[in-house]
Amino acid sequence: MSTLEAKGLGLSYGGEFVFEDLNLTIPQGKITVFIGSNGCGKSTLLRSMARLLKPQRGSVLLDGGDIASMSTKEVARKLAILPQGPSTPDGLTVLQLVKQGRYPYQSWLKQWSREDEAVVQEALEATGMGELAERSVDSLSGGQRQRAWIAMTLAQETPVILLDEPTTYLDLTHQIEVLDLLFEMNDRDERTIVMVLHDINLACRYADHIIAIRDGKIEAQGEPSEVINVELIEKVFRLKCDIIPDPLYGTPLCIPHDNSRLCAARQRRMRRI
């Protein structure tokens, strides 16, 4: 398993720092989820850890080495990134997309091999995309398209996978489908998975480790049962709520409160019934 950590990380946009002197270690072989309000820096942090955003200070370490000094292929053999809303060229098939995951292993000395073919087929089958291999990616449903991209990351065979809001724009069925697939990948292969999620309750259900971010700082981190409470939700999201056990899994379940105006309106409506 590979290690991923940030040391004294400073990230900025337009000269204004989003994070300053951030230290963070991602647990190996676990599912880690970043949560926080819009604009708090979740995606910025994820992108920097994937070498898509250059830090102004400090460094991101992958297996102890500065990720900025590694070659693209070296990084791509250890870490895969699935950005939010990835796009594909028109007409590209699922099979062609998944084959892109084998790019880090190709060279003029090593061309496409039986091993590459086997890995691609295994990725297609693991994601349930085998029967759709010849379909164009742009003809798929949202959930199918997301599974196709995850199949590509599987074919990349990296011990670390980063995903920026992998359930965005998906209906509830497809959200569960994608998160179940990622959970199975982690459970079967012990891959380190790091995600940004907006749904607190899904984050609690699937995460081994939650990192709550507020105003460019880590407000809290740990197991969901240790981190998620009414005080944290109010501080991070400015939302009053109750926290109860999820009836299926026992993980924290956030029940938002109405604001006072809506609460009064609902009470009036109930009296009229």
Q: What is the CATH number of the domain that holds 103?
A: 3.40.50.300
125 belongs to a structural domain: yes
Query: Judging by DSSP bridges, how do beta strands 209-214 and 31-35 pair with one another?
Result: parallel
Q: Which of 254, 232, 237, 235 has the alpha carbon at shortest distance from 245?
A: 254
250 belongs to a structural domain: no
Q: Which of 184, 119, 206, 190 has the alpha carbon at shortest distance from 157?
A: 119
User: Position of tokens 């993980």?
Assistant: 251
268 belongs to a structural domain: no
State the 10-residue block means of pLDDT for the chain, 273 residues long.
89 79 94 92 90 90 92 91 82 93 81 88 90 93 87 91 88 87 91 95 97 92 96 93 94 86 68 68
244 belongs to a structural domain: no
39 belongs to a structural domain: yes
Say if residues 36 and 236 touch (Cβ distance below 8 Å): yes
What pLDDT score does 130 carry? Answer: 93
269 belongs to a structural domain: no
Residue 52's φ and ψ, nearest 5 degrees, are: -90, -15
pTM of the predicted model as reported, rounded to 2 decimal places: 0.87
In total, how many domains does the chain have? 1
- Quick one: the chain helix, strand, coil %, rounded to 5? 40, 25, 35
What pLDDT score does 252 carry? Answer: 96
247 belongs to a structural domain: no
243 belongs to a structural domain: no
Residue 248's φ and ψ, nearest 5 degrees, are: -95, -40
Residue range(s) defining the domain that contains residue 172: 4-229
